[in-house]
Amino acid sequence: MGKLSKPKKLTAIQQLHALRRDYGFGITKLFGINQITWQGELKSSPIGDNYLVKVVYKLNNAPQIYVLEPKVLKLPNDKQKLEHVYDNKKQKLCLYYPKAKEWDESKTIASTIFPWIIEWLYHYEIWLITGKWEGGGIHPDSIKSNDK
Amino acid sequence: MLSTSEKTEIEDILETLGENLSITESQHDAAVRSYKAVGNWLTSDDSELKPYKPEVSPQGSFIIGTIIQTVDPDGDIDLDIVCELNGKKESWTQKDIKQIVGDQLRNHKKYESILDKEGRRCWTLRYRENGQQNERYHMDILPAINTNGYSVIREKVFSNLSNQSIQALELSITDNERLPEYNISTNPDNWYKSNPFGYAKWFMEIAESIKGQRTKMFSLNESVNPTPKFQKERFPLQRIVQLLKRHRDIMFKDYSENDKKEKPISCIITTLAAKSYNGEDNLIDGLTNIVRGMKNNILNRINPKTNISEKWVANPVNPNENFADRWALPDSKREKFFYDWLERLEQDFRILEIPHSRILLSESLQKTFGNQPVQKTFSDIGNKMKILTESGKNHVDRNNGLIGTAISGAITESKIQPHKFYGETE
């Protein structure tokens, strides 16, 4: 019986090609052989707003996603921080639960992360209007308390 | 001009808003219990009406699916009820019938209801079962009598209303402004004929005539069943009438009590909307055309008695009746208020014709329709999107953003892979 081979890790160049193909309206750059960046405008939905987004990916690290513009994303009246971010000031988005491997290096960022960015932007707008985050998701504190 | 995908998104918002403005299933069921209870009082053993087998049925917005929530969360929902007698004592005049029905309503257990006032044709009953919020009704009960030898409600309305001719649904009613007839006439053939079920048929036929579509969204036959089931779906025309009525409610909510009495009446709004409807299969086109077209369906006619031009909105099932007859009363503000409302409609709905950001649209809709239903609408839609992602059915157009299931097969579309947002919260 042959062993099931693990899915292959994609190279930075392969990730770059997928981004240039699917999100070619942004600017994709290669740094060395292991790091790429993408920067461009993403729209939340047909009647939604545009956001300048930057994605930084270094092999063996998780992709990092930043909303560059608006420089300071508005908050609903009664909230002090953004929902589902790693860093409020840097507006660094948190789009998946790492332990669940919803993304791993065998998957293209273009087909997984990018639609999640758009979805985050959409739910951000709903949250601005209603004060409620309707996109679901989990928070680190709730996991810690469920673990034991 | 809106793109197709923009239109789809805004359409979803308006449809969900309409659902949130409708009465809930529990309110619907409570309304059915309440008018059936009233029906039971009128047929009870000690009722003078018992020999004439009174039949009770709702009419108006409840049966044509255009009833909406009140602006005030504690408000009474308006329910129009017909009480049809199958015969009467020969000697009874209109006045007698009106009084006997009133007495029967007044004599019932006081904790359940209060006979509020006597109108020109109806009794107004404030019904409070257990006094629960949102289960209070302001019932206008219309005593009526059939003259064709059959019970209109039992034999025509309850069994396949859609198949009846409009003529066959007429009922004779009392009217205390028709003097001296009200006091002395004992022959219902000579009384004023009202046709609430004929009106419902007329309206539904227009609502159902959507260009190029056959899906059944709302059944008139079901809504006039003795115990009608709650129906969630609506035809575009029904939704549009709901949105228009709500727009009117919000616009006039801070007017003085006296001025509020002269705000546009639902009957005229509903009739003009139906007359201006052209089979549009979506809310945006329907609203745009109806908002523009309503004023063209208000006609001018010379009153033969005064030789003065008057505004006319004819009852479609009785062309001799002018729903706008009170506009011509001295010192009435009704005509002015109606045109004020039409003008505000055009302003407020202009936003639907040009692309606007969701944020701006939500602000405008909240001003027009009230905060609570609009916020709930966006919440509901956001929740639907989450569920779509969870079930692997959500999509983005990479150039245009989240599009849900509204895919066109374009090469720029991608499916959203299942995932959970993570990270801190406040």
Q: Which chain B residues are Cβ-neighbours of A126 within 8 angstroms?
A: 378-379, 381-382
Note whether A116 contacts B416, CB cutoff 8 Å: yes
- Asked if residues B190 and B181 have their Cβ atoms less than 8 Å apart, the reply is yes
Tokens linked to B361: 């649209």
| Neighbour-count burial of B125, counting CB atoms closer than 10 A to its CB (0-12 exposed, 13-18 middle, 19+ buried) | buried
Is the model more confident about A22 or about B105? A22
| Residue B159 contacts A, CB cutoff 8 Å | no
Cβ-defined contact of A119 to B402 (cutoff 8 Å): yes
B134 pLDDT higher than 60: no
CB of B220 closer than 8 Å to CB of B63: yes
Task: Verify whether the Cβ–Cβ distance B359 to A119 is below 8 Å.
Answer: no
Q: Which range (A12-26, A121-135, B278-292, B301-315) has the least confidence?
A: B301-315
Token representation of residue B398: 């990479």
pLDDT recorded at residue A148: 40
Contact B132, B154 (CB under 8 A): no
Average pLDDT over residues B137-166: 86
Lowest mean pLDDT among B135-149, B196-210, B253-267: B135-149
Assess whether pLDDT exceeds 80 at residue B121. Answer: yes
Mark yes or no for CB contact A22/B398 under 8 Å. Answer: yes
Share of chain A above pLDDT 70, in %: 92
Which residues 383-412 of chain B have a CB within 8 Å of chain A? Answer: 383, 385-386, 389-390, 394-403
Percent of chain B with pLDDT over 90: 67
Tell me how many degrees the CA angle A116-A89-A118 measures, rounded to the nearest 5: 15
pLDDT at B243 over 90: yes
Q: Which of B37-41, B235-239, B262-266, B388-392 has the lowest mean pLDDT?
A: B37-41
- Cβ contact, residue pair B418, A111, below 8 Å: no
Closest residue in B to A141 (Cα–Cα): B424
Confidence band (pLDDT; 50, 70, 90) for B130? low
Q: How far apart are CA B409 and CA B365, in angstroms?
A: 32
**What is the structure's pLDDT at A56?**
97
For residue B280, give every residue at least 6 positions away whose Cβ sits within 8 Å of its Cβ, in sequence order, or none.
B210, B211, B236, B286, B289
Q: Which whole number is the average pLDDT over B337-345?
A: 98
Please compute the mean of the pLDDT values over residues B396-414 and round it to a whole number. 91
Q: What is the pLDDT of residues B346-384, one digit of tens each?
A: 999 988 877 779 999 999 999 999 999 999 999 999 999
Q: Record the pTM.
A: 0.92
Contact A125, A134 (CB under 8 A): no
Helix ranges restricted to H, B191-299: 196-208, 220-223, 236-251, 257-260, 266-276, 283-293
pLDDT of residue B153: 87
Supply the pLDDT for residue B373: 96
Has residue A3 got a pLDDT over 90?
no
- Residues of chain B in contact with residue A81, where contact means CB-CB under 8 angstroms, are 424-426
Is the pLDDT score of B396 beyond 50?
A: yes
Cβ atoms of residues B136 and B77 within 8 Å: yes
In angstroms, the Cα distances linking B413 to A23, A111, B394 are: 11, 10, 10
pLDDT > 80? residue B124: yes
Q: How confident is the model at residue B135 (pLDDT cuts 50, 70, 90)?
A: low
Residues 283-312 on B with a CB inside 8 Å of A are: none
Nearest-CA residue of chain A relative to B420? A137
Specify the pLDDT at position A147: 44
E-strand spans in B112-162?
113-118, 123-128, 136-145
Q: Give me the pLDDT at residue B160, please.
A: 80
Contact state of B361 with A23 under an 8 Å Cβ cutoff:
no
Quick check: B112 and B199 in contact, CB under 8 A? Answer: no
Distance from C-alpha of B161 to C-alpha of B153, rounded to nearest angstrom: 9
